[in-house]
Every structure is written in C-alpha cells, then in structure tokens.
Amino acid sequence: MVIKKQKTKKTKSKTTKVNILKEDVKKDLNEEIDSIDIIINFFKNLFISKESEKSVEKEKTKLKVNKKAVGYTIILLFIFIIMLYLFWQNIQRQMNFNQKPELISSWAPQYKGQVGMPVYYNHQFVIDNGAQEIKIYKKLEGILEDVISLDYVPSWVAETSQGIILVKALNSDNLYFYKNKKLEKILSLPSFNLSSNFNLDSKDNIYYADVAQAKILKYDLDGNRLLEISGYGKTKDKFQKIGRIFFDKNDNIYAYDISTPPKIKVFTSEGKFIKEINLGLKELTGRESIAVTHDGNIYMNDLFELVIRIYSPKGKLLGKFKTDITGRYNIGIPNCLSGGIDNIIYVHTQAFRPIKY
C-alpha cells in the first residue's frame, strides 16, 4: 500500500510539472501574441495616424484653396465694381462735357465792325469801330436805345451805376465820359493806351492793365490812383504778359496772363491773390473774354477751336459748346463773349442760360 501511494505522488508530481510547463508555454505564447498585437497595433496606429495626417493636410489644403478662391473672387468683384463705377463716371462726365446751354434770346444788330459787346446793367453795348459809334441796346430784347457818334475809333466801353458811359479811344490814354450822349469830361490815365480793355467794379472804380509793368491799376472816377496789383514775375501771383480784365458778381478780378501757356489770375478788388487757373491751351489771341456765372464757373471764347469753353472754379475743363441745346443756332466765330454778373452768357447778341453741372 505504501508503494502505491508513492506512485500516486510521483504521478501527481509529473502532472503538476506538465501543467506548469503548459502554463509557461501558454504564458510565453500569450506574451508572444501580445507582442505581435502591440507591433501590429503600432504599425496600424502609425498607418492610421499618417492617413489621418494626410486627410487633415488635404482638408487644410482644400481650406486654403477655398480661402484663396474666395479672396480672388472678392478682389475680382471689387475690381469689377470699380471698373463699372469708372465706366459710369466716364459716361456721366462725357454727358456733362457735351452739354449745351438753353438759348434765351437772339437778335441781329447792324454794325460795320465790332471789337466787343460788353454787358452792363440793362444794356448791351456794341463797340462799332468801323462806324466809330457805340450802339446801346436793351439786353435780351435787342431794342436799340441810343447811338453815341465819335470822332475817334473806340476800343472799349463800360457803364457806371449812375448811367455814365465811359469810352476808351484806340491807342490813347484818354477815357471819355458821356451822359445822355453828351461828352461831360475826359480823364487821362497813365499807361492806358496799351491796355486792350478796362472794367468797373460795383463801386464804379476803374481797373485796367499796365502792360509795360505787367500790373493792374485801380483808379476812381476822378482819376485818383487807389491801388497797384501784382506786377511782372514768374510766381503764381505775378504776370509775364498781362491781358484783359473782368469781374465776377463778388468784385473778384479775373485777368489773363497771355504768356505761354496762358493762365487766368484771380485777385480780390483789394489786390489779394486768390488763385491761378491753367487753361490747358498753347496760346491765346489776346481778344478772349471771360464771363463768370453765379456758380463760379468760367466761360471763355476759344478763338482757335471756335467754341465756348467752360471751366470750374478750380480750373477743371467742364465742357465746350458752339450751339444751343436744340442745335438750331450756331454761334459761328465767337469774337465776343460777355455777361456772367447777371448770370446770363452773351455770345455776340445771343443770350444763354448757364449750363448746370
């Protein structure tokens, strides 16, 4: 019996060893499997990570592309809007540039020759150098009210607020005063003979160009010198070659500098420089006139292109015209231009309303 028990113990011992061995093998196998799983999972995760990174990069690239596309679209749309705006502005500018005035009235005076048709108060004066006469018409209606016969050749005329007619003789220092066609007095003004015109402000002061000294002289009706304005020079407030003188409704002086290129110099009636306007022309004939309307726009007769030019107060060329808005009346050669102070433009004996810009 003892022997049997030992055998049983030995058998159990072997069984235990086998089981332990199996467990160790199983354990080792499990460990190997775990290691393989770890390796597989590592490469799997690595692959997935790389795929994910690629996917993210693709999404980022797509987002970048989309952002660029949106940006380019916005820029192109902005450029298109600007081009459309500029195109519309250009059309509008061209429409404004080609505007023509409304003809108010027109009449045909009889004269042998004329060197000017200035307007003062209710009159338009025809300076008939051929007949040596000053013809006085009622402006707009064109009714001949009076004729002043002269024994000299007239070159310019003006009217005071008291109805006195002042006439400049050609190549003379004399200024003749007429009241009811009768000569009242003669005023001799220094350096008056070379001036191509003269003008009056609202207080009846006389202004004319001293051509030799390139300055504007101001006198009262008694011949007292009140002021000297500007002079020769190349700065904006100086003249190189002074021409005709005109006024706006505020008594500001507009005087031509007929050098190359020609300009308009603007001063107050007290001689303070306001501005210079470049006309954008190569030259002037010296016979051009200026009419400044109440909006500050400047009308001038271009004797080369045979049109009336309109400039803004800042000197921008707004447009040109040679006929009225209906196209039925052509102004021809615009030798004479006047007005502005009454807010009407006169070309010869045609009266126009100012163009609205």
Q: Is 336 helix (H, G, I), strand (E, B) or coil?
A: coil
* pLDDT for residue 57: 66
Cα dihedral across residues 157, 161, 162, 163: positive or negative: positive
> Which two structure tokens, joined as six digits, stand for 3?
């022997």
Sign of CA dihedral 319, 320, 325, 326: negative
Residue 319's CB: how many other CB atoms inside 10 A? 21
Residue with tokens 């989309």: 66
Q: Is 178 helix (H, G, I), strand (E, B) or coil?
A: strand
Distance CA 198, CA 156 (A): 7
- Where are the extended beta strands (E) located within 201-280? 206-210, 215-219, 225-230, 242-247, 253-257, 263-267, 273-278
> Distance between CA 61 and CA 342 in Å, rounded?
72
pLDDT for the residue numbered 4: 45
pTM: 0.77
pLDDT value of residue 88 = 80
- The SS3 assignment for 70 reads helix
238-243, long-range: CB within 8 Å, 24+ apart, which pairs?
238/214, 239/214, 239/215, 239/265, 240/214, 241/211, 241/214, 242/209, 242/210, 242/211, 242/214, 242/215, 242/216, 243/196, 243/209, 243/284, 243/286, 243/288
Residue type, 16: T
Compute the distance between CA of residue 222 and CA of residue 188 in angstroms, rounded to an integer: 10
Strands (E), 65-150: 103-106, 119-120, 123-128, 133-138, 143-149
Residue pLDDT tens, the chain, 357 long: 444 444 444 455 545 554 554 565 455 545 555 555 666 566 556 555 555 656 656 666 665 657 777 888 899 888 989 888 888 877 877 788 999 999 999 998 889 999 999 999 999 999 999 999 999 999 999 999 999 999 999 999 999 999 999 999 999 999 999 999 999 999 999 999 999 999 999 999 999 999 999 999 999 999 999 999 999 999 999 999 999 999 999 999 999 999 999 999 999 999 999 999 999 999 999 999 999 999 999 999 999 999 999 999 999 999 999 999 999 889 999 999 999 999 999 999 999 999 999
CATH of segment(s) 104-352: 2.120.10.30
Structure tokens at 200: 């009056």
What letter does residue 353 receive in the DSSP assignment? P
